[in-house]
Structure 1
Amino acid sequence: MRVETFRQKPAQPITRDYIYEFSSVASLYEYNPWSETSDRERAEWLDREARPQADRDELVRTLLAYNEQIGNGAAAASHIEALRDRNTLVVTGGQQAGLFTGPLLVMFKAITVINEARQASERLGRKVIPLFWIAGEDHDLDEVNHTFVLNETLAAQKIKLGAGPDKKSSVSQWSVPPEAWEDALSQLEQVLMNTEFKPELMERIRAITSASDTLTEQFARTMAWLFGEFGLVLIDSDDPQLRKLEADMFQSIVRRQGELDDTLLRAKGRLEDRGYKAQVELQPGQAHLFVYHEGERLLLGRQGERFTDRKGAASFTEQELLELAEHTPERLSNNVMTRPLMQDYLFPVLSVVLGPSEIAYWGLLREAFGLFGLKMPILVPRYEFTLLEGTIQKQMNKFGLQFEDVVLRLDEKQEQWLAAQGSIQVEELFAEAKTKFAELYAPVVASVAGINPGLGKLGETNRQKIVEQIEFLEAKAAEGFRAQHESALRHWERIRMSVLPGGKPQERVYNVFQYVVKYGGGWLRELAGTPLDRDGSHHIVYF
């Protein structure tokens, strides 16, 4: 396995500027990720005892209990214990709990967290641990109940958990029926290639699902198996014990909700004044908190003096919401805007690993951090990878394709190849024949129509039949051409579906086990141990 770098700018304008022209967006973020002094500046700020923070000893106990529950290893426990030392810092990143871990980008985010923690520890000369924040409080099951694997017919086959909760509850609070697990496992087993690695892989995945009550637990156990040796600490944002540690911060958010709302709306205005588009929908009156009410996770907003959901199913005064935060904080839940604040309150976050869209919406949050006596941490772009298998490399070489050709101009290159095989010339010949026939036959139809209008109609019918026969031969010629080059065209399609399935980056579609079943898990561990720069580059992994 070797890794090469490919410079590809993000689609989001603000993220593109963050990576390549940071000075143009510096006022929206707290630290310059490319500055050699940012790590030490952030560490010095975190060393201040006066900053708002959760009880460290209780945090350690909560992390130890959760990681033991999901079967995480000794390396993670050691990292958690290290948090008792006030000198220890954290690099974090997170994702929703997807079926069988979801798309590859989840793996790559975890790898970035592990690498960034290791490198930051070396730069600072102090302990920095990797932590993965599982967004188990999210309730959009349709985003996480499936994954994709490339099948033998060159289609991205969807593997789906065919069940769901009766109410709009969080993923962490939905108990998956055993038959739903078994059905999803059967789908996965059928689509994965039969290799020497498959029996052991399926045995491991089955053991994980049989021990997992929820999708979040399945995700956490799988991540612990894949990255436990690197000491990756895991936490579920919907863990009731974690919620108890969040009580004070929830109360602060409730008390200052109006200020937070105003702060975010001002940030949105500043963003739009610079020509950027806010990645999060913000409207006046949002509370930026959810509440669990009668089994459902409901988004709260302000209506006059009360906090209520859109349908009015739940309603609270500010005092009632404060009492909820103090006595039953597990009934509250963060939204996309308050989750970063809560994360910074819970952990001594040196840096947070984010994807392109996340970097974009964090551009709204600098002033919000300050409102609660916090500071936005360093934002590190997650590693982006494309995995190029040996067969794909050979096919690319056969057609003279570079990686840049595949991701930027594959259709153009395929058309050029087809033209070189003679298909375009044949198309041009048929087009020319139809044009010349129309020119020659038009006067004939006009002439016979002058003799008898009925003959003119017959002539037009005759013309259409002749054109149909020409087009019939043209279609047969195209079929013959494709049959002649069927094998090569399948190679083109395999390249496309391997690298850009459905026009999307591979890492946003395919599941990691598609590659583990072929190559084992060594490449994943090797990537986790490979030092890479935090420069926002895309990396090509050659198997």
Structure 2
Amino acid sequence: MFNLKEIKSPDFYYNSLFYDFIFNFDKVRHHYCYDYRSIGEFERRADDINKFYDNDFRLKIVNILKSLNSRLCCGKRTLNNIELLKDRKTCVVIGGQQPGFLTGPVFIIYKILTIIKLSQYLSALLKCNVIPLFWNASDDSNFDQVNNFYLLNKKVKKINLALPEASGLKKSRRFSNIFVSEELIRQKIEEVKENLTPSTDFTENAIDMLDECLRVAGKSFYGEKTGLNPPNVLNLSSFFSAIILKLFSKYGLVVIDPSEPDLKALALKLIKFDIENYAGIYDAVKEAGENLKNEGYHSQIMSDVKNLNFFLDVEGKRRRFIEVKNGYFALPDCILDENELFEFLKSRVSQLSLNVVLRPIFQDTVLPVLAEVCGPGEISYYGQMKKVYEIFNLKTGIIYPRFSATIIESKIEKSIRKLGIDYEELGKDKSRIRKKIIAHIAGKDVEKLLKNFESDIFLKLSGLKKSLSFCPKNSGGTSSTGSYGTKESMESAGSIGSAFDRIERNFKKEIEVLGKKLYSEFEKRSDLISANLDKIYINIFPENKLQERIINVFNYINKYDFKLLDCIYDIVKPFDFYHEFLIIS
């Protein structure tokens, strides 16, 4: 189904740290616990798990996962994988993301496929069971991150949830606390259906699958069982989990959700450790961030104050604990010392959620994590986490880059061929490509001609300026008439020099205007350029972002059926980290 083209252009690798992580790992190796490129490192990590992982967590985790995944009507292979976690040799490959509407941007699907493929590869390599596990980051906040759904045809179509139940949501609201009615979600699914173009033989199957997942999520939602919410209401994170379990049932994907009360209870010991060691943790994160900046990268985790690394949910909003003085922390109505705070939190575990520092520590404490599949942002986060893990006497799992790709449909591939564009030349700067194409069609390099023209004019102006110099030097500093060195003559020469400078500036502006008009005229003469180039860029860089960061997978399932996922799975190759153009043949 696909022809593949590996792309190395930095425009497809997000930031310089991620680019060097892929292509120059030795430059950043000291920021990470393991070398993800080495098979021997996976064997070493498996040995480290056997030495340091607390196997007492296994049965508790199995029970939590079995309860959650069963409620979401998972497949038999998922349940079998959960049972395998009882074995002390079983490890997991994990990855996670916020619960996007209808799975969110397609990169989340790529991440899940990477988790599954790597787990199967490592199972064979290490001769032990390695389970694919997805962390539904329902404890995260910021509704704007999951509020939109994008489709793509001739233009980008944005569908905004804009749910009445979600109106006025603050960035501090946990996803697990965003409740919506099944009816409203059903209306949004219908809106998606209306915008899936063209309608195909696969459209109804896709919509039926989403409707089924909505019913499953509604029936299984935890709040309904405990009476925390009215009937026919669910949260978006449960719906998300139901969809990905259905999509990847045949592969035995397992979902874990931090909003599960029994899972939260396991974090209490970690919370206590954080209260006692928050200052050292803060210093470790800050120092690592400064080291990255000194090396020319960016600091992903930033904080100006010493916070505890968790939040308390108060009336639906996540509240931080900020140090007001050494060892004392502010609550809305009181100030508590470390011991008082821990006693206060012991009866409120279900209201706690961990931040970007403590969450991975918790994950790697309660789970036997062999590797974590990460995107560019997460890889940047982990660049600041090595010393934090050392404080907890832990190591990260192996940080492994997720599969990254751009789907090139046949109509787009045809446009690329028409314009004679090399795939490696494609980047976010569309104007550069446009100029090159126009030069090719015009039979000459227009930009070079204009630059030569500009140089010729400035050269002649410079010659004229020298030949008309009114201030020739002589030994006495004046001319033979004795008048050239006067104040008036010097001012006159300065005025003439300014006039030449003004002429040069005006010429430069006019040449720029001429260049734009020439390019515009060439484009008008050739609709092929503008129409095809716009079509290419809308597909490859929708909203001026990478396709995988915007467009939803159902945009493609609608056209190519669910078999598309199997086709992508087949081309995900362990230890191949290029961004791929998936050219549909």
What's the TM-score bracket when you normalise by the shorter of the two chains?
A: 0.7 to 0.9
1:203 is the counterpart of 2:208: yes
Deviation per CA, 1:368-424: give whole Å up to 9, x if none: 111112112110011101111111111211222232233366433333434566699
Corresponding residue number in structure 2 for 1:134? 136
- What count of residue pairs does the alignment treat as equivalent? 495
Structure-2 change in CA distance of 1:203 and 1:291 (3 Å): same
Give the alignment of 1:401-420 within 5 angstroms. Answer: 401-407=421-427, 410-418=430-438
1:372 is the counterpart of 2:392: yes
1:30 is the counterpart of 2:33: yes
Corresponding residue number in structure 2 for 1:267? 288
**Secondary structure of the equivalent of 2:420?**
coil
1:388 is the counterpart of 2:389: no
Corresponding residue number in structure 2 for 1:85? 87
**Greater mean alpha carbon deviation, residues 71-80 or residues 160-169:** 160-169
How far, CA to CA, are the matches of 1:209 and 1:61 in structure 2? 24
Letter in 2 for 1:118: Q
Per-residue deviation, 1:141 = 0.6
Corresponding residue number in structure 2 for 1:160? 161
Letter in 1 for 2:293: E
How far, CA to CA, are the matches of 1:375 and 1:507 in structure 2? 30
**Greater mean alpha carbon deviation, residues 372-381 or residues 398-407:** 398-407
Corresponding residue number in structure 1 for 2:565? 524
* Contact 2:69 2:255 (8 Å CA) reproduced: yes
How far, CA to CA, are the matches of 1:11 and 1:531 in structure 2? 20
Deviation per CA, 1:169-214: give whole Å up to 9, x if none: 3111221133431342232112111111111211221232344311
Give the alignment of 1:336-375 within 5 angstroms. Answer: 336-375=356-395
State which of 513, 517, 521 in structure 1 corresponds to 2:554: 513
How far, CA to CA, are the matches of 2:8 and 2:529 in structure 1? 29
Corresponding residue number in structure 2 for 1:503? 544
How far, CA to CA, are the matches of 1:272 and 1:488 in structure 2? 41
**Secondary structure of the equivalent of 1:495?**
helix
Deviation per CA, 1:339-369: give whole Å up to 9, x if none: 1101101110011011112111211111111
**Secondary structure of the equivalent of 1:5?**
strand
Give the alignment of 1:293-308 within 5 angstroms. Answer: 293-304=314-325, 305-308=327-330
State which of 169, 176, 184 in structure 1 corresponds to 2:173: 169
Per-residue deviation, 1:486 = 4.3
How far, CA to CA, are the matches of 1:15 and 1:316 in structure 2? 41
How far, CA to CA, are the matches of 1:537 and 1:335 in structure 2? 31
* Contact 1:248 1:326 (8 Å CA) reproduced: no
Structure-2 change in CA distance of 1:155 and 1:16 (3 Å): closer
1:14 is the counterpart of 2:17: yes
Deviation per CA, 1:210-258: give whole Å up to 9, x if none: 4431110111111111112111111112222211222222222222222
* Contact 2:412 2:536 (8 Å CA) reproduced: yes
* Contact 2:113 2:572 (8 Å CA) reproduced: no
Per-residue deviation, 1:165 = 5.9
Letter in 1 for 2:124: E
**Secondary structure of the equivalent of 1:47?**
helix
* Contact 1:162 1:184 (8 Å CA) reproduced: no
1:217 is the counterpart of 2:232: no
Structure-2 change in CA distance of 1:411 and 1:66 (3 Å): same
Per-residue deviation, 1:64 = 0.6
* Contact 1:75 1:230 (8 Å CA) reproduced: yes
Corresponding residue number in structure 2 for 1:150? 152
Per-residue deviation, 1:20 = 2.3
Q: Normalization by structure 2: what TM-score? A: 0.78
Corresponding residue number in structure 2 for 1:397? 417
Structure-2 change in CA distance of 1:308 and 1:297 (3 Å): same
**Secondary structure of the equivalent of 2:285?**
helix
Corresponding residue number in structure 2 for 1:41? 44
**Secondary structure of the equivalent of 1:510?**
coil
Per-residue deviation, 1:529 = 3.6
**Secondary structure of the equivalent of 1:133?**
strand
Structure-2 change in CA distance of 1:366 and 1:518 (3 Å): same
Per-residue deviation, 1:296 = 1.7
How far, CA to CA, are the matches of 2:309 and 2:323 in structure 1? 10
**Secondary structure of the equivalent of 1:539?**
strand
How far, CA to CA, are the matches of 2:523 and 2:8 in structure 1? 37
Corresponding residue number in structure 2 for 1:464? none
Aligned-CA RMSD value: 2.9
Structure index of larger Rg: 2
* Contact 1:51 1:374 (8 Å CA) reproduced: no
Q: Normalization by structure 1: what TM-score? A: 0.84
State which of 178, 185, 190 in structure 2 corresponds to 1:181: 185
**Secondary structure of the equivalent of 1:169?**
coil
Letter in 1 for 2:574: D
Gaps of 5+ in 1: 433-470
How far, CA to CA, are the matches of 1:491 and 1:59 in structure 2? 53
* Contact 2:77 2:249 (8 Å CA) reproduced: yes
1:245 is the counterpart of 2:266: yes
Give the alignment of 1:312-327 within 5 angstroms. Answer: 312=332, 316-327=336-347
Percent identity between matched residues is 27
Corresponding residue number in structure 2 for 1:234? 255
Per-residue deviation, 1:56 = 1.1
Letter in 2 for 1:297: R
Per-residue deviation, 1:24 = 2.3
**Greater mean alpha carbon deviation, residues 412-421 or residues 63-72:** 412-421
* Contact 1:265 1:284 (8 Å CA) reproduced: no
Deviation per CA, 1:5-44: give whole Å up to 9, x if none: 2234434222223222222222211111122310111111
Letter in 2 for 1:21: N
Corresponding residue number in structure 1 for 2:99? 97
Per-residue deviation, 1:426 = 12
1:258 is the counterpart of 2:295: no
Corresponding residue number in structure 2 for 1:449? none
Per-residue deviation, 1:47 = 0.2
**Secondary structure of the equivalent of 2:393?**
coil
How far, CA to CA, are the matches of 1:158 and 1:491 in structure 2? 25
How far, CA to CA, are the matches of 1:265 and 1:66 in structure 2? 37
